[in-house]
Amino acid sequence: MTRLTNLLRHISRHAPNMALPAATLRTGARMPLLGLGTGPGSVGTWQTSTEPIYEAVKVAIDTGYRHIDNAESYAEEQAVGRALQEKVGSVVERKDIFITSKLWNTRHHPDDVLPACQRSLTDLGLDYLDLYLMHFPVAWTRGDVYYPKDENGRAVLATPDVPFMDTWKSMEKLVDAGLVKAIGVSNFNISQMEEVLTNGRIKPAVNQVESHPYLVCSKLLKCAADNNVIITAFSPLGRPGEESLHGVSPLKDPKVVSIAEKHKKTPAQVCLRWQVQRGVVVVPKSTSPARILENSQIFDFQLSTEDMETISGLNKDARIVKFGMCDDHPQWPFNGEF
């Protein structure tokens, strides 16, 4: 019997018997506070095979996850769809699992929004999405090249430019058509999120942003709470294993390690717990069954007020994902407040 088989049996025995805690969206839908992220290891890179994601989604559902976070640009939705086809109807009912996808930068033209959503639905094997996000506020040139670049490595921007509110209006029509239950944004700063809140016929339900103990986003979190927007944190662990690229390693921070030892938990579990206690949804990515299980074991302990303040005090505004190839665009979000 293989080590993996043993682990999967352990997961089956220890899978939660009740639904994981969830945030309530402005639509009234319940969005589990823990989801499985399926994105690439770093921006602009993809797995050589989608098989690990296919297996990871199946393991996650068996473990008790009821929230899967996807995007067209990850080029993995067909693999996710295969896993869902195996598990939905046998392990979980469709109504009990929350599926997110995202509209990529090359699909911002109003004529491209509906086909992009339909493509994701087809690849995922679904009739509707629970949540559809605008992946980034800057429009890139239309087409099927996810990262169109010029000879200088700069993103080729849409010409003419497509204001993100024009894209948003087309996303609203997806809700009207019943293809998506809720819409939201991703990588939007405070002023950009407020623009959608002010001018959108349908208000954004979610803003998904990078957040971890070294990138706390406290101002954005307060603004979101004041406006009934849920924040989802991607890279909530600071992308372990890439420290040489970005120098960010909250999992190795002595204060995080000390708090983890006190609670007999891992630093990763402490970082995830800190987020969910703030009301932030987390979507850590892993293809390791052991890590998928570990990341789910964050609802059986409580961080103290002192613990929470200590972790929040680690903020360095240390952003990993910067989309620097278009940082001269007026809507590049990272010049604004988060």
CB atoms within 10 A of CB 322: 15
Whether 210 and 233 have beta carbons less than 8 Å apart is answered as: yes
Q: How many CB atoms lie within 10 A of CB 42?
A: 15
Would you say 330 and 302 are in contact if contact means Cβ atoms under 8 Å apart?
no
Distance CA 98, CA 129 (A): 8
- CB-neighbour burial class of residue 27 (10 A; exposed 0-12, middle 13-18, buried 19+): middle
Rounded to whole angstroms, how far apart are CA atoms 332 and 139?
A: 10
From the list 54, 65, 74, 132, the catalytic residue is: 74
CB atoms inside a 10 Å sphere around CB 250:
26
Q: Is 74 among the catalytic positions? A: yes
Q: How would you classify the pairing of strands 230-234 and 206-210?
A: parallel
CA atoms of 3 and 222, how far apart (whole Å): 45
Q: Counting beta carbons within 10 angstroms of the beta carbon of residue 142, is it exposed (0 to 12), middle (13 to 18) or buried (19 or more)?
A: middle
Q: How far apart are CA 172 and CA 159, in angstroms?
A: 23
The DSSP result for 146-185, as a single string, is SS-B-TTS-B-B-SS---HHHHHHHHHHHHHTTSBS-EEE
Contact assessment for residue 235 and residue 210, using Cβ atoms and an 8 Å cutoff: yes
Residues with a known catalytic role: 74
